[in-house]
Amino acid sequence: MLNLNNKSILVTGGTGSFGKMFIKNILDQFPSVKRLVVYSRDELKQFEMQQEFSPQKYPAMRYFIGDVRDAERLTRACEDVDIIVHAAALKQVPAAEYNPFECIKTNVLGAKNIIDAAMKNNVNCVVALSTDKAAAPVNLYGATKLCSDKLFVAANNSKGSRDLRLSVVRYGNVIGSRGSVIPFFLNKRKNGELPITHAEMTRFNISLMDAVQMVMFAIEKSIGGEIFIPKLPSYRITDVATAVCPLCTQKIVGIRPGEKLHEEMITPSDSFNTIELDDYYVICPNNLSYQGITLSDYINHYEGKKVPVGFSYNSGDNTEWLSVENLREQIIQHVDVNFKVSRLAVAA
């Protein structure tokens, strides 16, 4: 049973949608957590977050201004930290295409700095957040996150005698997160027209709370080197538009540079070292010799089973789908509690 009381936890990108939900969950479940450190660049977002999670009301809270690119500041912030949850990233696909090395500095060099800071400070556990775009990437953002994933997995080979586990969680689009499609469509519906990139486009869907629970699972269960992938439903982008505004015109605008028609999370090449659990898939390291551990050890640890050779997992071939009604329920639950179908009509 996971117990984070008396633990010190640092969350990079802690003012983001995931970070706030993760911190709220920790404060609710573990009232005796020793320290919760929010590490991020934006002082305004930290100020706003302090209105909800003030150090006066929650003595464990700490707010550090810093960038994951700044190795010295990051190392200082990680002093006496037990667990790092790495959620900081540049993740807007078009911005990454236009500003490629800025994305590399944050997502790749920042990952290296996290690993170095963890090793220098005797951190026990690191969980890094990834994305479905890191599987067979076609854009720079996905490529940087794949590189980041590789760094965290490989770091388990060079940790020496340290009591340190580093793992990755990879999931799809978070419903209602900043910059995601549902808030975008909710804002656009007043115009009577919703832009659709491609009529057949699909995506995976996960709630913030499910993402948090997945990270908690990784903190509790990881051996080191795993990439955890949740079993998620898919949705069609046209169904999202219909759920948000059935009377709006859906205008096809074309796939943006660096976008896929369907998102992948496990490629056939990953199948050789992927195991299946009840709620997750786990991609195990493909070079286990340095750790003195075998694929069977992972299978036994998780009581899982190996997937068939050639297995793949993508949003277009999924077996579970969200209907229009399912999507409306999720909008009410996760995005706008006042959302009503009766409000969707658009004046002619």
Residue 80 inside a domain? The answer is yes
> Distance (Å, rounded) from C-alpha 327 to C-alpha 325?
5
Residue 92 inside a domain? The answer is yes
DSSP 8-state class, residue 85: E
DSSP 8-state class, residue 307: P
- Work out how many domains the chain is built from and give that number: 1
Domain that holds residue 120: 8-172+205-232+266-315
Residue 184 inside a domain? The answer is no
> Distance (Å, rounded) from C-alpha 207 to C-alpha 327?
12
Residue 2 inside a domain? The answer is no
Residue 322 inside a domain? The answer is no
135: nearest Cα among 257, 274, 253, 11: 274
DSSP 8-state class, residue 41: S
Q: What sign does the CA torsion over 276, 314, 208, 339 have?
A: negative
CA distances from 302 to 181, 219, 222, 265, 280 (A): 34, 14, 9, 20, 10
DSSP calls for 283-304: E--S--GGGT--HHHHHHHHT-
Check residue 347 and give its pLDDT: 44
**Residue 155 DSSP SS3:** helix
> Distance (Å, rounded) from C-alpha 159 to C-alpha 14?
26
Check residue 172 and give its pLDDT: 85
224: left (phi over 0), alpha (psi -120 to 50) or beta: left
> Distance (Å, rounded) from C-alpha 34 to C-alpha 43?
23
> Distance (Å, rounded) from C-alpha 57 to C-alpha 329?
33
Residue 194 inside a domain? The answer is no
DSSP element (H, E) containing 282: strand 280-283
Check residue 348 and give its pLDDT: 38
Per residue of the chain (348 residues), give pLDDT as tens: 899 999 999 999 999 999 999 999 999 999 999 999 999 999 999 999 999 999 999 999 999 999 999 999 999 999 999 999 999 999 988 899 999 999 999 999 999 999 999 999 999 999 999 999 999 999 999 999 999 999 999 999 999 999 999 999 999 889 888 778 999 999 999 899 999 999 999 999 999 999 999 999 999 999 999 999 999 999 999 999 999 999 999 999 998 878 899 999 999 999 999 999 999 999 999 876 667 789 999 999 999 999 999 999 999 999 999 999 999 999 999 999 999 775 554 443
CB-CB contact of 198 with 252 (8 Å) = yes
CATH code of the domain containing 287: 3.40.50.720
Residue 134 inside a domain? The answer is yes
Angle separating helix axes 324-334 and 237-244, nearest 10 degrees? 70
Instruction: List, by residue number, the catalytic residues.
Output: 133
Residue 290 inside a domain? The answer is yes
